[in-house]
Structure 1
Amino acid sequence: MPEASNYMRIVKVIIEEAVSLLVGFAVAVIILLFSGYEPLSVISILFSEGFRNTEVLMKQSIPVIAAGLAFSIPALAGLFNIGGESQLYIGAFTGLVSTYIIYNATGQPVLSSVTGLVSGALAGGSWGFIIGYLRARRSVNEVVVAIMMNWATYYLVLYLIVSRFTDPIYSHMSVFVPASSRIPNILGFIVIVGVAVLTYIVLRYSSLGYSIRVAGLNPKAAVYAGFNLEKIFITAMSISGAIAGLGGALFVLSVIYSIDTTMSAIYGLGFLGIGIGLLGRNNPIGVVLAGLFISGLQFGGQWVELRTGAPPYLTDVVIGIIVIALSATYTYELLVSKLRRG
């Protein structure tokens, strides 16, 4: 019976996503027609070009997979982590600076890279801890704290780059990751996928994962059963922050190698993680697939702009509609479940 139930649930999800995708396409087609563009041509380019280059697909998905995981773990505990943005910022900056300093001090590329990744994860985890602590011990809404930290961290990182870590040649860039300390794109992708698999195992088979899921399903029942909600909230937010921070460090060390003085390469990826988490139904494996899917659409959107002359906002709207349609069913289920719990 459990196997039959799981099978029916999988079939239900597939049908829901297929219908949602068709609805998304239908709305996108209408918008494209009214905008004066050929819908079939745009959608064909979006998908054919977006998923053709595997290397680009993998490296661009690194930070958004991390951001999706950073949203999903607290979501399973009943929290809304909108702070993935700040955790990516601080993880990327700390990872970059740590790698740069350690390499210049020791000349050891492996040591500097590992230090950069660890420090990025610790920095992101610290940011998550602050949000979780204030939510658990002071009953401060995690969304409010996270929004404030997003902006504070953005300007903090920009200030530190401009005042302390500007590249001597390119004044609009931070210092660069030393060439020998850079991580191959494929290795960065493997690391973040490994983190996702480990997260799935922990959430599915460990006592910590069980406590997180119980707290999210019914907080009152969790307390009655003896679970410490404060500890669960702080732990969930700290782990999610660490993953986002690691994702930021991986992105810098394996993809962009430097941070510009507007953080344009990182800005918005944390918010994108919310959609990826919902699209992946807060399942770590689903988040990986959703991250690859969104990254492919974004890359395909660039080709749409080049080949059809469509403005960037139009391709963003088309991609957004498809993502909203695909995640709408699961989002609705979450809202209904939350309302029923009161």
Structure 2
Amino acid sequence: MTNAPAILAEGLQKTYGKTQALAGLDLIAEEGTVLGVLGPNGAGKTTTVRILTTLLKPDAGRAMVAGLDVVTQAEQLRARIGLTGQYAAVDEYLTGYENLKMFGQLYHLSGANARRRAKELLERFDLVEAGGRTVKTYSGGMRRRLDLAASLIMMPPVLFLDEPTTGLDPRGRLAMWKVISDLVHDGTTVLLTTQYLEEADQLAQQIAVVDHGRVIAKGTADELKTQVGGERLELTVGRGGDLNAALESVRKYSVGEIQIDSEHRHLIVPVKKGTNLLVEIVRDLDQAQVEIDDLALRRPTLDDVFLTLTGHAAEEGNALSDKLVSDKTPQRSAR
């Protein structure tokens, strides 16, 4: 381990015609960590990944990955990184084993070493039983695991995962999270782009929120949640309860504007954190004889952070810059 970050980007700019995909983007990821990059479609996530993996050249700015410049040392860098794109880029008419052996040979491994590495990766990704089947018979989750395995043929110190769990069911997503966590535990640095905010919350030590080609917020998940505010009280008044009475009972605890949903008899109250707060609120509601269906103290989620920072939910966006480069060529890796 060195003191230099595994990934460093400063002032990256990229324009497609009249569309500015990146407008001075800065990123940093330390060795052996996961950097989560969040943003809506068109925010610049895929463009950033393509620049950092030498597939695109920036119009301005600089970037270093694994201590190498992504432009002037691109050839050397490609042997030290792996990339798994949004869509699995494996040959569906070959078996899983044949795919991995082929990628090993493309990396100039000897036949024996390519076969050995293919078997190791099939075992690591729980694909041994499926290794002899053609990939067209694989489920979506199995294809994604095979695609990730192919990115690890040469055990790269830095791995780029561009929305790796897109299209997976919850079970497949959890399995992929386990694989990523194991890689980081073994020392791999991962840059993960995702629109699944719980994914970043689960995996990333640092998170960068990108919108309109810039990083608009960064920090740990807890630090970003703190930017939105403290805890919030959420309560739903029973059908026989008095919403106005509930509102008056909790008003003194509020530290901001109370959101009132009369149709669903629901209140959201920003409150200060306190050990006995919920007990006190329950006592006051009981004294006011307010019937409650649901009552809870909740912290802000990354969804709240995203909505506050960008003005829209994570899955929204108009797919500008990323769409321009999304499907022109299959994304395998920068090799």
The TM tier, using the shorter chain, reads under 0.3
TM-score, normalised relative to structure 2: 0.26
Q: Which has the higher strand share?
A: 2
Q: Which has the higher helix share?
A: 1
